[in-house]
């Protein structure tokens, strides 16, 4: 069904209730229409809370988990073990998407979102209470793994369709601009997480930090999730949002049927932004682990440098919206993939170039990340048939994270430690090549008026 929704207008239109297996429908929806700006705020708040959880875990995987959960092996091996568990969330995420799509069909979207964010908050907060390996032995590692899988399942289930709603209803000549708004959650989440860890490292001695200080960010994550839950429910319970679901623009659909009909779009969508997703962890998690293992630089200071890089990424994300609206999303993603491919050749020289080279790597990498990541989400959303758009966009995002980013810290650190930084260059270059190949297969990615 064609999308006929517009923003603004006067009065109220009543729509027949959407029947689910339980016959349930939210009857407390706020009346009236919602503007793109309102949706954008909800998207940014929701994504920032998820990324905060994500980066709190990522930073702890470098600075904390090797010491307290893997003390039986060296620092490098402990970090590689931690990065292995780090990847569990990305493996679990598509399964969470499918499970919570069923919950939405069986009950309603508010139930789905509430359960997903409660699970995300509980999984994150539970890590703060985990006993260490010295107390519980291997069982502590198992509990950490379960919590990480819970985070992944919850992240899959937290898909609310708001980015798709925003893209569908944004002005035709501003779609690149509105597409980038949700991506601002990544630098915001990173700045908050890195700033909190930097503060704790600067004010606590190492013993106190490893004993109890590292647990505090996981408590904070739960509180942020509660705020994000109410902000997002306020939007997804609106009559306008319900209307889009009833029109099958943003409604779960049969995954098997969709895979047969839209499998090509899902695959290309996951690969189109491969360069951006690979770079994502190569400027955030990997360099932090490298500095922690092989440099005498202050970790607190390095986190502050990365926070500056994240601020540059936020600026790059905003600029990407302007560029995409001027030249098209496909051209923007393709040009940035080429630039990332060129940048990959300088990884060994910069990371081995002392503080100055590392600073250049971080700041330049974050700039490229912002410009590319700003248009990476939902790159092929417009290609999905209307009834497949909601589920297709969610699964495309899940697979893009799994293929492009899930194992990036583990692979990059393992390759660089055992074979040299040149192999990190090849890893990042392969992501750029993958993006260019996917984009060349699908010229329909370019959004036209």
Q: pLDDT tens digit string along 138-170?
A: 999 999 999 999 999 999 998 877 666 666 666
- Please report the pLDDT score of residue 258 as a whole number: 83
Whole-number Å distance between alpha carbons of 227 and 119? 15
Range in 225-229, 252-256, 384-388 the model is least confident about:
384-388
Q: What is the DSSP letter of 73?
A: S
Give the torsion through C-alpha atoms of 58, 180, 110, 103, to 10 deg.
-70
Residue 193 makes CB contacts below 8 A (sequence gap 6+) with 51, 52, 55, 56, 58, 59, 217
Does residue 421 register a pLDDT over 80?
yes
Q: Rounded to 5 degrees, what angle do the CA atoms 154, 194, 43 make?
A: 45
Q: Each residue of 12-43: pLDDT tens digit?
A: 334 344 444 343 344 344 445 556 666 677 77
Residue 345 confidence class, pLDDT cut points 50, 70, 90:
very high
What 3-state class would DSSP assign to 130?
coil
Q: Which of 414, 201, 407, 151 is nearest to 289 (CA)?
A: 414
Does residue 298 register a pLDDT over 60?
yes
Whole-number Å distance between alpha carbons of 423 and 413? 10
CA 22 from chain centre, in angstroms, equals 32
- Please report the pLDDT score of residue 67 as a whole number: 95
Rounded mean pLDDT, 48-75: 94
- Better pLDDT: 127 or 164: 127
Q: Which domains does the chain have, with CATH numbers?
A: 37-447 (1.20.1250.20)
Rounded mean pLDDT, 214-224: 90
What 3-state class would DSSP assign to 38?
helix
Range in 59-63, 224-228, 310-314 the model is least confident about:
224-228
Task: Bin 309: left if φ > 0, else alpha if -120 < ψ < 50, else beta.
Answer: alpha
- Please report the pLDDT score of residue 7 as a whole number: 39
Residue 247 confidence class, pLDDT cut points 50, 70, 90:
low
What 3-state class would DSSP assign to 339?
helix
Does residue 401 register a pLDDT over 80?
yes
Q: Rounded to 5 degrees, what angle do the CA atoms 236, 237, 242 make?
A: 80
Whole-number Å distance between alpha carbons of 306 and 361? 10
CB 97 within 8 A of CB 30: no
Does residue 120 register a pLDDT over 50?
yes
């Amino acid at each position: 069904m064609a999308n006929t929704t517009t923003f603004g207008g006067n009065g109220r239109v009543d729509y027949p209730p959407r029947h689910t297996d339980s016959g349930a429908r939210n009857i407390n929806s706020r009346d009236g229409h919602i503007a793109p700006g309102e949706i954008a705020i909800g998207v940014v708040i929701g994504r920032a809370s998820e990324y905060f959880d994500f980066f709190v875990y990522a930073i702890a995987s470098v600075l904390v988990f090797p010491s307290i959960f893997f003390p039986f092996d060296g620092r490098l091996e402990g970090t590689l073990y931690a990065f292995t568990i780090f990847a569990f969330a990305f493996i679990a995420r598509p399964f969470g998407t499918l499970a919570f799509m069923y919950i939405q069909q069986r009950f309603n979207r508010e139930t789905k979102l509430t359960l997903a964010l409660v699970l995300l908050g509980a999984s994150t907060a539970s890590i703060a209470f985990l006993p260490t390996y010295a107390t519980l032995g291997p069982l502590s590692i198992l509990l950490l793994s379960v919590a990480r899988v819970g985070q992944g399942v919850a992240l899959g289930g937290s898909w609310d369709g708001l980015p798709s709603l925003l893209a569908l209803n944004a002005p035709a000549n501003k779609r690149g601009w509105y597409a980038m708004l949700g991506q601002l959650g990544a630098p915001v989440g990173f700045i908050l997480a890195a700033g909190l860890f930097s503060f704790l490292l600067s004010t606590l001695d190492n013993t106190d930090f490893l004993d109890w200080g590292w647990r505090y960010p996981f408590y904070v994550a739960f509180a942020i999730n509660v705020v994000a839950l109410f902000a997002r429910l306020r939007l997804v319970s609106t009559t306008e949002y319900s209307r889009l679901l009833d029109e099958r623009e943003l409604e779960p659909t049969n995954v098997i049927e969709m895979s047969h009909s839209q499998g090509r779009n899902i695959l290309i969508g996951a690969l189109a932004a491969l360069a951006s997703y690979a770079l994502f962890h190569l400027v955030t998690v990997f360099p932090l682990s490298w500095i922690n293992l092989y440099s005498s630089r202050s970790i607190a200071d390095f986190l502050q440098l990365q926070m500056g890089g994240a601020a540059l990424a936020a600026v790059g994300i905003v600029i990407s919206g302007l560029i995409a609206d001027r030249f098209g999303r496909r051209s923007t993603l393709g040009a940035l993939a080429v630039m990332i491919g060129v940048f990959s050749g300088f990884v060994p020289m910069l990371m081995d170039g002392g503080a100055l080279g590392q600073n250049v790597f971080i700041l330049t990498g974050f700039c490229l990340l912002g410009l590319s990541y700003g248009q990476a989400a939902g790159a092929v959303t417009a290609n999905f048939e209307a009834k497949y758009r909601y589920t297709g966009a969610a699964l495309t995002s899940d697979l893009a994270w799994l293929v492009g980013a899930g194992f990036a810290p583990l692979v990059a650190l393992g390759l660089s430690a055992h074979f040299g930084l040149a192999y990190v260059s090849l890893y990042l270059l392969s992501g750029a090549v993958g993006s260019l190949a996917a984009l060349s297969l699908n010229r329909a990615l370019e959004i036209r008026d």
